[in-house]
Amino acid sequence: MGDLKILENLMAHPRGGKGGTCSPVVKHTFPQAYAHVGVNGVQFTSTTGEKMIATRGFAKDGITATIVLNGERNVHGRVCEACWGYTLSCTGERVGQAVVPLDSTIIS
């Protein structure tokens, strides 16, 4: 167990997504979503009706690419490739309400 705690401190997102996959299931990959967000970000509305902006970012390791989900008043969470498509992010943040509509803005 001690080794796992050390690993969690080193890794930005140690366990992947949680809470089951989003419904409806996302149709695009994390790299497609990350490219779609681009350097200027993407505006969309969450499934709960909140205006949101997705921007690019990095996890606390400074290496792992993330999509930052910014709501009207606060950051709702960050998703990386490991937790893209799950209702909860690697760090336990509720992100499904933002991931699904963001995914729907991607034109393949």
d(CA 69, CA 74): 9
Between 40 and 24, name the one with better pLDDT.
40
pLDDT digits (tens, 9 = 90+) for 58-67: 988 889 999 9
> pTM here?
0.82
Between 5 and 104, name the one with better pLDDT.
104
What is the dihedral sign for C-alpha 92, 20, 31, 38?
A: negative
Where in the sequence is the domain holding 59, given as residue range(s)? Answer: 2-104
Is residue 17's pLDDT more than 90?
Answer: no
pLDDT digits (tens, 9 = 90+) for 65-93: 999 999 998 888 999 999 999 888 888 89
Domain total for the chain?
1
